[in-house]
């Protein structure tokens, strides 16, 4: 709260200029309190004077870079060539921009490696002379020791050097750079962590509410940039435009080069700053600040809310503000239920998956569930599925979200009968179907999907792979069916025969970091903690250990089954991990198709 009240004059300027960032925790807070009256006066003064103040602004210098970092926010690794921008042109852009605004609190100079720029001294000298710029922040990787001319400029009270925290092996000269900065009493800070500022996502949802929510949470919208004579409110928008990832709307960048109409420019810029989202959001994964209070609230809400209510009452479709409001409103009820369930020692299942068919109309190269590799795909017997549901429900007190999937769910011939049966099960709160969106449901199925216990998730296949997807979504909308369009990229889990390190330590680490270990699976009368364990066993990919599963079918010893389930959930790894790469950080395009001749024989 104090940070918000302090405003950008303090947060983007004074905090760094007077080296408060180097102080201890308590001294930093004391300094903020001391400066607070002056900070409030500066905010009031700017508002009364109707001044256009830019909190922070980046100017990008493109030049040769040593490593191609996957998570570079400026997309350098996507560029085929690197080059220096013309300094004279950059200087003119600075002058043109400053002629149209009243002040810039922090002017950031960044690039692949700024200290490699041949004419950096000319640019810095010019920026230092600008009265409208409070602080000049230059970013570096720490690879290059600047020459004496640059070091002399960096001593200026308006200068701040930020060193990106690369691993020591990647930045051998860092210790020498730090020594030079200390020796010359230059103001600097080390950026301890990297943040993913939104990777390119060609399958991102373009639903208006999703775009607004993505933009509202996104950190990148706070990093404005001058690029090629244009003002952008997002780094990804600027660089994505240059890389032809998308074509921004004309209202999403403001041309300032050569302009001499500050009143009109300010009007256009204020209008741009009021936008709820921009075109770049439709091709971006977004970047979200980690908030401890948000995670704490989610944990307090418990499975009843997170796995059931959040979806059943379509809170997932609301704006972020309404989502937070709904969570707070239902928090007392959630906590009361958690207390009651804990007091009564109830055995509740947050969610469980049940495959109903291995038939699929796609042959995805990267299918995480290995469905592609079934040579003779079949529908599972309806009576056996019903029996397995009954047996499993007899061992638990409640399942908050029961996931039904394939293969392709809507290819299952007895889907109507199965869903009818599941709907009447009181122990099941929500039935969640997954589909690739290529099969339009029959009218009787569509009618059934209207039930409030039903939720449909449409996987993140590109339209080129699933051309019926827009029609499927339209059908859901037309019939007011509760649905989600998934927009996440996929992870490469290694296919059928991955080359992996199968040492005990490596397998444990892989399992600990894998999101699939939360995808517990009920199949063929057995309970597994991972779908690859189920399907890999069926395909003969490996032989699971007896402790990797719990037999459910036909058992009546509830306490023993519950004990076995708890023991299974506490395992540090399973045999399936030896045939899986885990959920690697690298994203891949969803739904890349294989020809049948490429499949395992």
170 — phi, psi (to 5°)? -90, -10
Alpha helices of 428-479 — where are they, by DSSP H? 443-449, 469-478
The predicted pLDDT at position 195 comes to 63
- The highest-confidence range among 272-276, 295-299, 333-337, by mean pLDDT, is 333-337
Model pLDDT for residues 38-76, shown as the tens digit of each residue: 999 998 998 898 899 999 999 988 654 544 565 554 455
Report the alpha-carbon angle 478-482-485, nearest 5: 90
Residue 207 domain-assigned? no
Whose CA is closest to 409, among 448, 447, 435, 441? 435
Question: Residues 262-269: what's their mean pLDDT?
Answer: 90
**In this model, does residue 327 exceed pLDDT 50?**
yes
Q: What confidence category does residue 599 fall into, taking pLDDT thresholds of 50, 70 and 90?
A: very low
Non-local (6+) Cβ contacts of 141 within 8 A are 66, 113, 163, 164, 166, 170, 171
Radius of gyration, CA atoms only, the chain: 28
Residue 6 domain-assigned? no
267-277 as b/e, with b when 16 or more CB fall inside 10 Å? Answer: ebbeebeeeeb
Mean model confidence pLDDT for the chain: 88
Residue 385 domain-assigned? yes
| Beta carbons of 351 and 401 less than 8 angstroms apart | yes
Residue 410 domain-assigned? yes
DSSP output for 567-584: HHHT-S--GGGGG---S-
The predicted pLDDT at position 362 comes to 94
Distance in angstroms (rounded) separating the CA atoms of residues 598 and 601:
9
Whichever domain contains 526, its CATH number is 3.20.20.70
Answer with the residue of higher pLDDT: 515 or 588. 588
The predicted pLDDT at position 514 comes to 85
Distance in angstroms (rounded) separating the CA atoms of residues 34 and 40:
11
**Structural domains in the chain (count):** 1
Residue 572 domain-assigned? yes
Residue 403 domain-assigned? yes
Beta-ladder partners of 435: 458
Distance in angstroms (rounded) separating the CA atoms of residues 377 and 370:
12
Report the alpha-carbon angle 234-237-241, nearest 5: 155
Residue 54 domain-assigned? no
The predicted pLDDT at position 412 comes to 97
Q: What confidence category does residue 240 fall into, taking pLDDT thresholds of 50, 70 and 90?
A: confident
Model pLDDT for residues 301-312, shown as the tens digit of each residue: 999 999 999 999
Residue 402 domain-assigned? yes
Distance in angstroms (rounded) separating the CA atoms of residues 120 and 82:
16
Length of the chain: 601
Question: Residues 219-234: what's their mean pLDDT?
Answer: 86
Domain that holds residue 523: 347-588
| Beta carbons of 413 and 383 less than 8 angstroms apart | no
Distance in angstroms (rounded) separating the CA atoms of residues 28 and 61:
32
């Amino acid at each position: 709260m104090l940070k918000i009240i302090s405003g950008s004059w303090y947060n983007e300027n004074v905090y760094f200029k007077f080296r408060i960032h180097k102080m201890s925790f308590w001294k930093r807070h004391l300094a903020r309190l001391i400066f607070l009256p002056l900070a409030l006066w500066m905010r009031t003064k700017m508002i009364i004077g109707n001044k256009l103040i830019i909190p922070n602004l980046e100017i990008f210098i493109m030049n040769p870079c040593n490593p191609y970092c996957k998570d570079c926010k400026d997309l350098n690794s996507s560029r085929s060539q690197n080059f220096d921008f013309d300094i004279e042109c950059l200087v003119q852009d600075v002058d043109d921009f400053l002629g149209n605004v009243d002040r810039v609190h922090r002017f950031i100079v960044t690039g692949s490696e700024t200290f490699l720029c041949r004419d950096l001294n000319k640019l810095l000298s010019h920026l230092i002379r600008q009265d409208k710029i409070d602080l000049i922040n230059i970013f570096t990787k720490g690879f290059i020791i600047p020459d004496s001319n640059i070091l002399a400029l960096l001593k200026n009270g308006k200068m701040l050097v930020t060193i990106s925290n690369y691993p020591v092996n990647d930045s051998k000269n860092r210790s020498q750079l730090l020594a030079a900065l200390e020796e010359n009493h230059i103001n600097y800070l080390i950026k301890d962590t990297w943040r993913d500022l939104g990777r390119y996502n060609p399958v991102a949802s373009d639903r208006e509410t999703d775009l607004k929510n993505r933009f509202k949470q996104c950190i990148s919208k706070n990093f404005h940039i001058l690029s090629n004579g244009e003002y952008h409110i997002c780094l990804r928008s600027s660089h994505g435009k240059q890389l032809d990832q998308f074509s921004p709307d004309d209202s999403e960048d403001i041309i300032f080069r050569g302009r001499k109409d500050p009143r009109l420019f300010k009007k256009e810029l204020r209008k741009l700053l009021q936008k709820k989202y921009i075109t770049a959001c439709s091709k971006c994964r977004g970047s979200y600040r980690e908030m401890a209070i948000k995670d704490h609230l989610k944990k307090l809400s418990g499975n009843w809310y997170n796995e059931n209510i959040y979806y059943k009452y379509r809170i997932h479709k609301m704006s972020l503000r309404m989502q937070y409001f709904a969570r707070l409103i239902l928090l007392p009820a959630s906590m009361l239920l958690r207390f009651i369930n804990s007091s009564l020692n109830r055995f509740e299942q947050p969610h469980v998956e049940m495959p109903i068919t291995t038939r699929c109309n796609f042959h995805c190269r990267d299918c995480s569930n290995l469905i592609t590799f079934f040579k003779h795909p079949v529908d599972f017997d309806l009576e056996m599925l019903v029996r397995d549901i009954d047996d499993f429900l007899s061992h638990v007190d409640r399942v908050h979200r029961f996931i039904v999937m394939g293969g392709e769910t809507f290819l299952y011939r007895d889907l109507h009968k199965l869903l009818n049966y599941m709907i009447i099960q009181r122990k099941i709160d929500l039935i969640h179907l997954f589909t690739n969106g290529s099969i339009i449901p029959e009218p009787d199925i569509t009618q059934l999907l209207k039930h409030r216990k039903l939720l449909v998730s449409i996987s993140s296949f590109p339209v080129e792979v699933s051309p019926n997807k827009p029609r499927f979504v339209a059908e859901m909308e037309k019939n007011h069916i509760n649905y989600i369009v998934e927009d996440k990229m996929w992870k490469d889990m290694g296919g059928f025969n991955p080359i992996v390190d199968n040492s005990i330590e490596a397998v444990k680490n892989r399992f600990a970091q894998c999101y699939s270990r939360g995808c517990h699976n009920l199949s063929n009368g057995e309970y597994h903690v991972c779908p690859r364990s189920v399907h890999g066993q069926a395909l003969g990919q490996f032989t699971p250990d007896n402790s990797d599963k719990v037999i459910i079918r036909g058992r009546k010893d509830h306490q023993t089954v519950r004990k076995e389930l708890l023991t299974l959930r506490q395992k540090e790894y399973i045999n399936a991990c030896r045939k899986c790469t885990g959920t690697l950080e690298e994203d891949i395009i969803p739904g890349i198709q294989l020809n049948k001749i490429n499949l395992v024989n």
